[in-house]
Amino acid sequence: MSKNIIFITEQLFKERTGASNAIDGKQLFPMIKVAQDIHIQPTLGSGLYLRLQDGIDNDDLNNDEKNLIDNYITDALIWFTMSMLPMVMGYQLFSKGFLQKTSEEGNAPSRADLELIEAKYKSMAEFYNKRLIKFLQENYGLYELYLNPGSGVDVIFPTKQGYSSPFYLGGYYERTHALNGASATTIQTVYYTATGGETSFSVSVLENKTILVAMRSGLGKVVTKNPTNDTGFLQIVDGLVTLPIGDVAMAGELFSFVYR
C-alpha cells in the first residue's frame, strides 16, 4: 500500500482548477489520494511512485524528480482528481446513508450532466498522462526505478499506453493459422512479450521471412530496415527488432508479427 502522501497540495489544486476555496479539504484530500493511486501509480510503476513519496516525506527530491512532479505529474493528477469529483461531491455519507446534496443558489446537475463533466475532465487528464508517459520513455535514464520497480506479486510495472495485454506470454511463441485461404504452414504469427527496458530484441523465426503485419500493444507498425525515430515504425533486420531511437519497451508489452 502506498503512503498517505500526495504530490499536489489542496491550494494548488484550487488555484489550477478554479475550484471554490470553500471546498472542505477533508473531502478533497481523499480524492486526490485515490486519483493518485489509481491513475498515477500505474503510470510511474510502484518503484518510482514510492520513491517520489519518500522524497517528499524526507525532503530530498533531486531536480529531475521535482521536474517530473511539477511539470508532468501535477497536470495529470489535477484533472484525474477533477474527473472523480462530480459524483463524489454531489453525494455525502451521513448517519442515514448516502444523501444527495442540494444547493440554495443554483440547480444541481442531473446524473447525465455529471457523467458528461466527468468524461470531459478525464479526457483532459488522459492527455496529460500520455504526455507524462512519453516524457518517461524519453528520459528513463534519469529515473532508475522506472524500469526497475522491484519484484514481488504486489509490484506495479509502469504502463506504456492505455491499452495493455492481460496475459504474460513469457517470451515469444509461434501459432499457425490460415489467412485469406492460405495454408497454415504458409502464414504464421509469432509473439514477443517484453521484460522491460529493451531497445531491441531478437526473434529468430523472422530471419529471411516476409513480415506481413507488425503490431505493438495492439497498434499496427510500419516495418523498415533503417533506423528511425518515428514511433509509427519498427526496424526489423534479419530477425532483430529495433525500437525507434529514444524509445524503450515496457514490462509486459506485447509485440506480434504475422509472417510467411
Q: pLDDT of 19-51, one tens digit each?
A: 878 777 777 898 999 999 999 999 999 999 999
Beta carbons within 8 Å of 211's beta carbon, 6+ residues apart: 223, 236, 257, 258, 259
**pLDDT value, residue 176:** 41
pTM for the whole thing? 0.60
Q: What are the helix (H) ranges across the chain?
A: 10-17, 25-35, 41-44, 46-58, 63-68, 74-90, 111-138, 144-147
pLDDT at 175 over 90: no
The predicted-structure confidence for 199-229, as pLDDT tens digits, reads as follows 999 999 999 999 988 988 878 889 999 999 8
Q: What is the mean pLDDT of the chain?
A: 82
| Those residues with Cβ within 8 angstroms of residue 11's Cβ, 6 or more apart along the chain or in another chain | none
Mean pLDDT, rounded, for 71-90: 88
pLDDT at 178: 44
